[in-house]
Amino acid sequence: MQRYDVIIIGAGPCGLAVGVEAAKAGLSHLILEKGSVTESIRRYPKRMRFFSTAENIEIGGLPFPISDVKANRTEALQYYRKVAGYYELNFRLFTEVAQVEKQGDLFCVITTTNESFYARKVVIATGYFDFPRHLGIEGETLPHVSHYYDEPFQYSFSKVAIIGGANSAVEAALELYRHDVEVTVVHRGEDFRPTVKYWLIPDVKNRVKEGRIKTRFNSLVQRIEPKKVHLQNLQTGEAETLEADFVLVLTGYVPDAALLRRCGIDLVEPSLVPVYDPVTFESNVSGLYLCGTVVAGIHTEKVFIENGRDHAAAIIDHIAGRAVRKVKELIDRI
């Protein structure tokens, strides 16, 4: 039975950062990932650009050269793959974890195919992209409804209703409009979210002003039918029916709370924020750590690559018995 110093669950940028720190510290490690390396980035919209500049999403001290001011999806996929190769990270890809059990001084990590892997310490860095924030309404699971958007071409010359008012919704609306799609954005707020990338705001508001992108603010979706979306205005109470060939529910994502609970981690309701030490990132289960967005519960906008990557150094410092670096800065960023 092979025993690792640390098993890392999740091969996103934050999980890779933990692997890098473990490799640098001379700790044996294994990264378990249910998809490919940086699976969530691979599933991003194909023309997506990051909000942060390249130096803020670097890991392992390796520079991230890019061709423009902001890195795009393809550049990020290439960069993180190169980092993983440079540090010779140890992967078991397309391997989904079902639960983690503590057995004496060891952890047993059990996969959905009943394989078992053993380690002294475990780090959960699963992110959140696999679990969309559902509306809980009738028709949400119909074939023409999706919680993900990748590219515009399948929607050309059709009518699309986008539910949401944050980055994903705005980026999709702009790209769809530019590919001959009749777009209507439905959002419960009075306007687009203030967290939308600053360079997108003038663009989308000008398109709305021109009538190229339609909006229904202060509106809730009541139910979805084939070719129809039923709305209610929160201010007037009036009902409206939109024609829509496709519906994109781009309302964000949440961590896998069920997996965390199966691993013995306590969650605070209703935020689903896990119980953990903000200095070492150790959970209420001794020896089981949390890294990246998974620490934020439903408030996924508070932790991203730029600050989540720093969790890795603190975790490995604690595992290796070293003084935790940058304690104050880490606490301030959470």
Please give the pLDDT value at position 301: 80
Q: Which domain holds residue 202?
A: 145-249
- Closest by alpha carbon to 127, among 271, 281, 316, 259? 259
Please give the pLDDT value at position 328: 45
Number of structural domains found in the chain:
2
- CATH for 193: 3.50.50.60
* 262/285 same-domain check: yes
Please give the pLDDT value at position 104: 92
* 182/241 same-domain check: yes
Instruction: Tell which of 219, 249, 279 closes a domain.
Output: 249
Cα–Cα distance for residue pair 267/21, rounded to 1 Å: 27
* 43/89 same-domain check: yes
* 124/165 same-domain check: no
Cα–Cα distance for residue pair 13/4, rounded to 1 Å: 21
* 288/320 same-domain check: yes
Q: Spell out, as residue ranges, where the chain has pLDDT lower than 70.
A: 325-334
Helix (H) or strand (E) holding 23: helix 13-24
* Residue 7 dihedral angles phi and psi, to the nearest 5°: -110, 135
E runs forming strands in the chain: 3-9, 29-32, 49-53, 70-72, 91-92, 97-103, 106-111, 116-124, 145-146, 159-163, 182-186, 213-216, 219-225, 228-233, 239-243, 246-249, 267-268, 273-274, 288-290
Instruction: Tell which of 225, 249, 273 closes a domain.
Output: 249
Please give the pLDDT value at position 329: 54
Residue 177 lies in a domain: yes
* 169/193 same-domain check: yes
* 103/169 same-domain check: no
* 81/183 same-domain check: no
Please give the pLDDT value at position 322: 85
* 108/31 same-domain check: yes
Please give the pLDDT value at position 245: 98
Residue 101 lies in a domain: yes
* 76/151 same-domain check: no
Q: Report pTM.
A: 0.86
- 49 within 8 A of 71, measured Cβ to Cβ: yes
